[in-house]
Structure formats: structure tokens, C-alpha cells
């Protein structure tokens, strides 16, 4: 079976975004270059009860809007949309868990040719996902790898899937060039793509704010940083000249 034309796919880029940062933004930008998708849907997750440091979905959604709408130099792709499918489903069923299986089912009714985006670390945990391996049949998959160890990590996970008869390397696709893997009965494919997104984590940003009252320099787009400070999220100072933490 021939792999899809990746340039015709809509990539699904989900996350808690607590907060959304430059790593998220640059990963989305990179999807338009490798593998060159047509569109990206950014899907904020609802608020899990076990995340004690998390701000409300309302605040996270507004920061997501600002992070992906900011385009001061007209270099950020325009084909980026925010989907509230997970948050809306959580509002309808507040006692239910949010699963990727349900998200892809719902998005698949509206969008054709979906590709779900995940990191190499998430790929290793994929067999533990809800409704695995059926979830593989709902979309193609793009695994973002990062130097220096992202490709090795992804390949270890794929070899494990191969040993279970779930993935098969397509001939003629070299590992160091990404590689395409056929999944299950050939209905879906997985592609490895390198990302140049900076190594920033939402956890690290929250921890820095808790210590200093300020996010790390360059970690957020100015519009998201202004919103975070205005609302004193994560204990941030309202302005950079304030002393101490605002609680």
C-alpha cells in the first residue's frame, strides 16, 4: 500500500498547554516543513483533576489563542486552527476521561486525512493508550524526534511494535531520513519527522515562575506572557519590576 501524501493531511497537535510556549509554536511551524502538512489543528485538553498546578481551561485557551495567532513578521503559517473538541466533550460529560481515541473519532467526522502528532517519548507509551491498537486505525501518525536522542528513542519503540506485528518498516526509507512505517493491515502509516523546536517544558516554566515570579526569557510569545502576568497565573508578578511573588 502506498503511504499518504503528507502534504494533504491535517495534523492534530494536542496538549494540556499549561502554559503554551515557544517549543509548541516552533513544533507546529516545523510540521509545515517536515513532513509538510496542509493544516494543523491545535487541540487544548480539558483540566485533569490530578494536575494541581494547572490553571483553568479558560486561561489556557486564551494563551493558546495568543501563542498561535501571533505573527508579527508574517512568517508563521496561517493554516493553524484551534479546536475545542476535547474541552467541549468534557463539558458535556464532566465525569468522563478524555481519550485520543474519542478525539480522533470526533475529528474524523469533520476532517478527512488526519495525522496525529506525538513525541518520541509518547510513542514509547503508546501501547498503554486507551483502545490500543484500535486507535492506530483512526489516523496516520507523525512522531517528532529531537536531537540528540529522539530518533534512537523512537526507533526502539517502533522495533517493539514491529516485534508485536503492529508496525512494519517500508522498504527504501532510511532511519536517518525519518522513515515511514506501515501500521496494522496497511490502513495507516507512521512517519518520523525531526523537529528543531527548542527544549522548553511547561513544567519548567511553571517551576521558574514559582521561584522568580517570571517565566524564563524567550519561553513565551509576548502576547501570552502579557496575559499570564495580567492574570498573575502560576504566581507570576504583574510586572517585571515587582519584588516577591504575587499570590
Say yes or no: 140 and 207 in one domain: no
* Distance between CA atoms of residues 235 and 247, nearest Å: 5
Q: Check whether residue 120 and residue 226 sit in a common domain.
A: no
20 lies in the same domain as 135: yes
In a domain, 247, yes or no: no
Tell me, yes or no, whether 245 lies in a domain: no
Judge whether 1 lies within some domain. no
Structural contact between residues 3 and 180, judged by C-beta atoms closer than 8 angstroms: yes
Give the DSSP per-residue string, 85-104. HHHHHHHHSTTSPP-HHHHH
Strands 167-169 and 180-183: antiparallel
CA angle 143, 146, 148 (to 5 degrees): 135
Asked if residues 12 and 45 have their Cβ atoms less than 8 Å apart, the reply is no
Where residue 56 sits, what CATH number does that domain have? 3.40.50.620
Looking at the fold, whether 119 and 12 belong to one and the same domain comes out as: yes
Q: What are phi and psi of 11, to 5 degrees?
A: -85, 135
225 with 157, same domain? no
Task: Please indicate, yes or no, if residue 98 is contained in any of the structural domains.
Answer: yes
Range(s) of the domain holding residue 156? 6-194
Tens-digit pLDDT profile for the chain (247 aa)? Answer: 788 999 999 999 999 999 999 999 999 999 999 999 999 999 999 976 556 557 899 999 999 999 999 888 888 999 999 999 999 999 999 888 889 999 999 999 999 899 999 999 999 999 999 999 999 999 999 999 988 888 899 999 999 999 999 999 988 655 445 689 999 877 899 999 999 999 999 999 999 999 999 999 999 999 999 999 999 999 887 654 433 322 2
Are 143 and 88 in a shared domain? yes
Amino acid at each position: 500500500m502506498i503511504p499518504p501524501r503528507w502534504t494533504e493531511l491535517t495534523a492534530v497537535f494536542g496538549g494540556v498547554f499549561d502554559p503554551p510556549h515557544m517549543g509548541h509554536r516552533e513544533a507546529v511551524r516545523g510540521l509545515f516543513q517536515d513532513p509538510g502538512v496542509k493544516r494543523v489543528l491545535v487541540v487544548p485538553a480539558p483540566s485533569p483533576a490530578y494536575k494541581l498546578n494547572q490553571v483553568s481551561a479558560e486561561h489556557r485557551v486564551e494563551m493558546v489563542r495568543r501563542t498561535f495567532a501571533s505573527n508579527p513578521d508574517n512568517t508563521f503559517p496561517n493554516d493553524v486552527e484551534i479546536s475545542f473538541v476535547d474541552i467541549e466533550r468534557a463539558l458535556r460529560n464532566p465525569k468522563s476521561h478524555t481519550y485520543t481515541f474519542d478525539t480522533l473519532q470526533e475529528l474524523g467526522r469533520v476532517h478527512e486525512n488526519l495525522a496525529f502528532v506525538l513525541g518520541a517519548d509518547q510513542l514509547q507509551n503508546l501501547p498503554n493508550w486507551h483502545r490500543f491498537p484500535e486507535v492506530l486505525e483512526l489516523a496516520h501518525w507523525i512522531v517528532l524526534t529531537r536531537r540528540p536522542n529522539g530518533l534512537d528513542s523512537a526507533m526502539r519503540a517502533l522495533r517493539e511494535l514491529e516485534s508485536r506485528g503492529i508496525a512494519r518498516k517500508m522498504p527504501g526509507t532510511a532511519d536517518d531520513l525519518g522513515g515511514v512505517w506501515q501500521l496494522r493491515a496497511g490502513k495507516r502509516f507512521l512517519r518520523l519527522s525531526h523537529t528543531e523546536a527548542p527544549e522548553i517544558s511547561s513544567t519548567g516554566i511553571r517551576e521558574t515562575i514559582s521561584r522568580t515570579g517570571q517565566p524564563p526569557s524567550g519561553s513565551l510569545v509576548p502576547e501570552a506572557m502579557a496575559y499570564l502576568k495580567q492574570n498573575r497565573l502560576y504566581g507570576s508578578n504583574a510586572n517585571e519590576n515587582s519584588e516577591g511573588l504575587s499570590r
